[in-house]
Amino acid sequence: MVAPPLLCWTILLAPFCAALLILLAGVHRKRFSAAVAIAALLTSFLAAGWVFLQALRDPAVLPCELSVSWISLPGFTVPFGILMDRLSLLMTLVVAGVGSAIFIYSIGYMAEDHAYSRFFGVLSLFAFSMLTIVLANNWIQLFIGWELVGCCSYLLIGHWYAKPAAAEAGKKAFMVNRVADFAFLLGILALWSVSSPIAAGRTFHFQTLQARLPELARAGPVPVTMLPLIGLLLFCGPLGKSAQFPLHVWLPDAMEGPTPVSALIHAATMVAAGVYLLCRSFWLFASVPSVMTIIMWVGGATAFLSACLALVEIDLKRILAYSTLSQLGYMVMALGLGGSVAGMYHLTTHAFFKALLFLAAGSVIHGTHEQDIRKLGGLVRSMPWTSAAFGIGGLALCGFPGLAGFFSKDEILVLAYERNAPLYWLGTITAGLTAFYIARAWFVAFMGREHAHGHESPPVMIGPLVLLAALSIVGGYLGIPRFLGELHGELHWEVAGISLAAVAGGLVLAWLLYGKRLVSPAKVVHALALPYSFLQRRYYIDEIYSWYVATIQQKIIAGLCAWVERNVIIGFAVNGTARLTRGMGQVIRLCQTGRVQTYVLAFLIGIIWLLSVPLRR
């Protein structure tokens, strides 16, 4: 039996060591760097699994906390540690498990890449950063991980940096996240500032805060308006990282990165960090109902609006990206409705089937070098394994009975049904839309006539697909909600029936349109030209942002700043000083007549004046 502290540190630090090793020794050794990265992440996964087994045998093992003092100043202490409870253990297993599958898949997908080692190095760094978020025991450590995953995301989206679109997409992701993270950091600092009535006792520590803050809020030292403000600021973090409306714009563009990156970072783990954060500090949000209302409506809106966007998208990966947005919206909505377990449950199953879908899409791209679904078709025949994986993932996504997505989505819909009827209907309609767009992708890209010639991917890519497909099938039976502390309620027949009807409706409609071609899709587009173009331009949100940047920011604000710079700073302060000095010089140099006699006269007057001093006294 290995002691838990050692295991926990191993989980966190193994990927970090791998990243260092690849950076220092592996930049030109392809096989070495891949092996190191995969071995490290598998080590993390096995260590987490070991902790999990121990926890199953003896529930008292969890939660356990390890902490070392990192920054210790008078009145300001930051620990660096690991908080291992059921929530973080589940998330660790997901990150390390799905991550390992994707790492292995990358061996095949990235085989021809010139920056193979860099890719694995950054992937390892990403795994470390993500685990830092998951295992953090204080807000500062969490924020460090938060920024690190943003940085890794930037590096990986821009992996093919020579391609302008990829470089731009990386920049966009980074900037949008910065905007959100700024508010997030303010929230953390605000939380810290109210964490203790005396200055010396302030803390970033999760559990201390959780134990102390409700008491303080009730007793009065924390102003009543402060907690909602903090909640709102903290929610800005997930708003950016989990790509909720209106800060979702970076995620579809992030699909410029390599597909394993899209699968790992922009579908399964990093974007789920926001949801994880909401769960981690759920006690805080639960105590401010006003913020909860905002959270659930943001989540519901994101779920619905991005599902609509997926309806008209033609890029296979972007369809999946919008679907990710939509599912994240579900999770956030569940959190907002007060169901942290339901949200976390959906996060887990979503990690399985969305990683599966992305890897299957990657396999398609690998085999055909094409990701426009209109140019694909009939892949079932040339890529049977990939198609089967995509099919299973798609069914799990739309909530086909018995698959993983069915159970977790049902939990969320039941929650909405009990607490908020409009959101329930929004969620149900979204479920129908989900079924429609994923079936559309299926029928257009995988069925029908063969347009692009493809070949099946190598076994090293198929293996992870099979593994994730198995998880997508059995994910609902693993007892995840029970592990998180909430007994799995029995099926709510009414809700399940209605959502199934919506899903079936979506599937059948897609089949009629794209499978049977009962009506030509072009005709439908023609009939619905206005909403179609509205969706195709993505609600003009990108346009609004560029208008904002180009007009408000660049012209008005930047113009104002430039005016102040030119006239006040340069004109008044800098040049003014010079002008003053020169003017004074011009006055004073009048004394310099250049005539010796004048100077001597000045001496004389001076001497007389000096000599007269004692007389005048």
Cβ 606 to other proteins shortest distance, Å: 13
* Residue nearer to other proteins on the CB measure, 221 or 583: 583
List Cβ neighbours of 474 (8 Å cut-off, separation of 6 or more).
Answer: 404
Cβ 617 to other proteins shortest distance, Å: 23
Cβ 600 to other proteins shortest distance, Å: 5
> Cβ distance 377 to 316 under 8 Å?
no
- The bridge status of strand 76-84 relative to strand 64-73 is antiparallel
Looking at the chain, the number of H-run helices and the number of E-run strands are 28, 2
Cβ 591 to other proteins shortest distance, Å: 11
Instruction: Please tell me the distance from the alpha carbon of residue 276 to that of residue 93, in angstroms, as a whole number.
Output: 13
* Residue nearer to other proteins on the CB measure, 198 or 578: 578
CA distances in angstroms from 467 to 103, 211, 396, 457, listed in the order given: 13, 41, 14, 15
**Phi, psi (deg, nearest 5) at residue 80:** -125, 120
CA distances in angstroms from 298 to 273, 289, 333, 426, listed in the order given: 17, 14, 7, 12
| CA torsion through residues 474, 49, 360, 269, sign | positive
* Residue nearer to other proteins on the CB measure, 589 or 616: 589
* Residue nearer to other proteins on the CB measure, 402 or 606: 606
Cβ 595 to other proteins shortest distance, Å: 6
* Residue nearer to other proteins on the CB measure, 293 or 593: 593
- The region of 163-171, 245-253, 487-495, 599-607 touching other proteins under the rule CB under 8 A is 599-607
- The region of 34-42, 169-177, 600-608, 609-617 touching other proteins under the rule CB under 8 A is 600-608
> Cβ distance 434 to 478 under 8 Å?
no
Cβ 182 to other proteins shortest distance, Å: 55
* Residue nearer to other proteins on the CB measure, 28 or 595: 595
474 touches other proteins (CB under 8 A): no
* Residue nearer to other proteins on the CB measure, 24 or 596: 596
600 touches other proteins (CB under 8 A): yes
Site for other proteins in 536-595 (CB under 8 A): 589, 592-595
Cα-based torsion angle of the residue sequence 291, 297, 298, 303 in order, rounded to the nearest 10 degrees = 150
List Cβ neighbours of 1 (8 Å cut-off, separation of 6 or more).
Answer: 54
Cβ 567 to other proteins shortest distance, Å: 31
Instruction: Please tell me the distance from the alpha carbon of residue 213 to that of residue 193, in angstroms, as a whole number.
Output: 11
SS3 235: helix
Cα-based torsion angle of the residue sequence 258, 103, 390, 267 in order, rounded to the nearest 10 degrees = -60
**Which of 597, 608, 610, 616 is the binder for other proteins (CB under 8 A)?**
597
Instruction: Please tell me the distance from the alpha carbon of residue 48 to that of residue 149, in angstroms, as a whole number.
Output: 20
Cβ 589 to other proteins shortest distance, Å: 5
User: Residues 185-204: x/- map of binding to other proteins (CB under 8 A)?
Assistant: --------------------
Cβ 615 to other proteins shortest distance, Å: 16
For other proteins, how many residues bind (rule: CB under 8 A)?
10
- The region of 161-169, 473-481, 510-518, 596-604 touching other proteins under the rule CB under 8 A is 596-604
Cβ 174 to other proteins shortest distance, Å: 57
Residues in the chain: 617
* Residue nearer to other proteins on the CB measure, 72 or 586: 586
* Residue nearer to other proteins on the CB measure, 219 or 610: 610
List Cβ neighbours of 255 (8 Å cut-off, separation of 6 or more).
Answer: 169, 262, 266, 315, 317, 318, 320, 321
* Residue nearer to other proteins on the CB measure, 552 or 600: 600
* Residue nearer to other proteins on the CB measure, 449 or 595: 595
SS3 76: strand
604 touches other proteins (CB under 8 A): yes
Cβ 593 to other proteins shortest distance, Å: 7
Cβ 592 to other proteins shortest distance, Å: 6
SS3 string, 351-372, reads HHHHHHHHHHHHHHHHHHCCCE
List Cβ neighbours of 54 (8 Å cut-off, separation of 6 or more).
Answer: 1, 4, 61
Cβ 607 to other proteins shortest distance, Å: 10
Helix 164-193 and helix 139-157, axial crossing angle in degrees, nearest 10: 170
Q: Which structure tokens are listed for 498? A: 């209605």
Cβ 585 to other proteins shortest distance, Å: 9
Going by C-alpha positions, the residue among 117, 113, 102 that lies closest to residue 463 is 102
Structure letter (DSSP) for residue 590:
G
Site for other proteins in 275-294 (CB under 8 A): none
* Residue nearer to other proteins on the CB measure, 164 or 594: 594
* Residue nearer to other proteins on the CB measure, 524 or 604: 604
**Tokens 């890519």 found at:** 461
User: Residues 67-86: x/- map of binding to other proteins (CB under 8 A)?
Assistant: --------------------
- The region of 140-148, 169-177, 567-575, 597-605 touching other proteins under the rule CB under 8 A is 597-605
Burial class (CB in 10 A: 0-12, 13-18, 19+), 274: buried
* Residue nearer to other proteins on the CB measure, 72 or 597: 597
Residues that bind other proteins (CB under 8 A): 589, 592-597, 600-601, 604
